[in-house]
Amino acid sequence: MTPAIILVVDDDTPMRSSMRRSLEREGYTVIEAGNANEALAQLKHTPAQLVITDIIMPDADGLELVFALHRSHPDIKIIAISGGGQFAPEFHLDLASRAGASAVLSKPFQTDVLLNQVRTLLAKAS
C-alpha cells in the first residue's frame, strides 16, 4: 500500500522539521511549505491526503489556506494547529474548525496526540 502523503505547513522551521521527522518515522511521505501560498503551489505538483497547517503565519495565513483547501480540495483532511498569537489558540482553532478543518490542536502538543489524529483522519479518508 502506498503511504499517505502529508503536507506540513508552518513558518517555524524547527516545528515543521520535527513534525516531518515524526510522520516519516510512521511511514508517511511528507512534503513541506512555509506558508499558505507555498502550500497551494506544492499541492499543484503533489496531491496530499492530509494537510497539517499552522494558523498564524506571515503572508497568507493558515485560515486562508483552510478556506482555500475546503473550496478547491474538499477531500483533503486538514489538521489546524495554533499557539495563539494575539489571541488564545482556541480563538484561531475555533475559526479554523468553522472554515473546514477536520481537527484542531493547540500548541504545544504531544507527538502521540498528533500521530493519533493523523491516523484517525486518514482511516476516515480511506
Give the range of the structural domain holding residue 32, as residue numbers without chain letter: 5-125
DSSP letter assigned to residue 54: E
Mean pLDDT of 119-125: 91
The domain tally of the chain equals 1
Which pLDDT belongs to residue 86?
Answer: 63
Taking the CA of residue 88 as centre, how many other CA atoms within 13 Å lie in the half-sphere pointing to its CB? 3
Which pLDDT belongs to residue 66?
Answer: 96
CATH number at residue 40: 3.40.50.2300
Which pLDDT belongs to residue 84?
Answer: 66
Residues whose CB is less than 8 angstroms from the CB of residue 6 and which lie 6 or more positions away in sequence, other chains included? 23, 28, 29, 30, 31, 48, 49, 50, 51, 52, 118
Condensed to tens digits (0 to 9), the pLDDT of residues 13-67 reads 999 999 999 999 999 999 999 999 999 999 999 999 999 999 988 887 899 999 9
